[in-house]
């Protein structure tokens, strides 16, 4: 793999394909320059490595909040360690681990809106309900 620079318009899509099969796609919009590094959180939560990094490539401190959603009957379904903010031009480590004994569908995504980073955590019961 090499390194390079891509230039985009103010919005659009970036797709990664292999022989005509789309592997990943990203919606491109103007906004704060924040990226996830070392881990493809969009594809899965790794059972081997629960550490993920958020990189703030802006010249300002950005707050980090956590949003919890889902219908799990248990309250403690995540073990999370995330800082409250990230300094300019720096990285912040976050730890996201599954917790509890209930079989759940889990999802994690990160959004950046109006200068605030939100780590979204969702845990839902299967269609036939939680045990």
Query: Which pLDDT score is estimated for 15?
Result: 87
Here the contacts of 87-92 (C-beta below 8 Å, separation 24 or greater) are 87/56, 87/61, 88/56, 88/58, 88/59, 88/60, 88/61, 89/56, 89/57, 89/58, 89/59, 90/55, 90/56, 91/37, 91/53, 91/54, 91/55, 91/56, 92/53, 92/54, 92/56, 92/64
| pLDDT above 60 (res 40) | no
Rounded distance, CA 71 to CA 129, Å? Answer: 10
For the full predicted model, state whether its pTM sits above 0.95. no
Query: Which pLDDT score is estimated for 47?
Result: 52
């Amino acid at each position: 793999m090499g390194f390079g620079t891509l230039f985009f318009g103010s919005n659009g899509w970036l797709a990664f394909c292999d022989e005509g099969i789309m592997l990943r796609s990203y919606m491109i919009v103007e906004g704060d320059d924040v990226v996830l590094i070392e881990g493809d959180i969009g594809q899965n939560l790794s059972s081997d490595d629960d550490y993920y990094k958020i990189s703030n490539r802006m010249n300002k401190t950005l707050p980090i909040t956590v949003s919890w959603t889902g219908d799990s009957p248990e309250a403690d379904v995540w073990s999370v360690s995330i800082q409250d903010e990230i300094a300019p031009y720096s990285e912040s480590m976050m730890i996201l681990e599954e917790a509890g004994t209930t079989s759940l569908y889990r999802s994690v995504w990160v959004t950046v809106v109006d200068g605030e980073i939100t780590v979204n955590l969702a845990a839902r019961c299967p269609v036939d309900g939680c045990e």
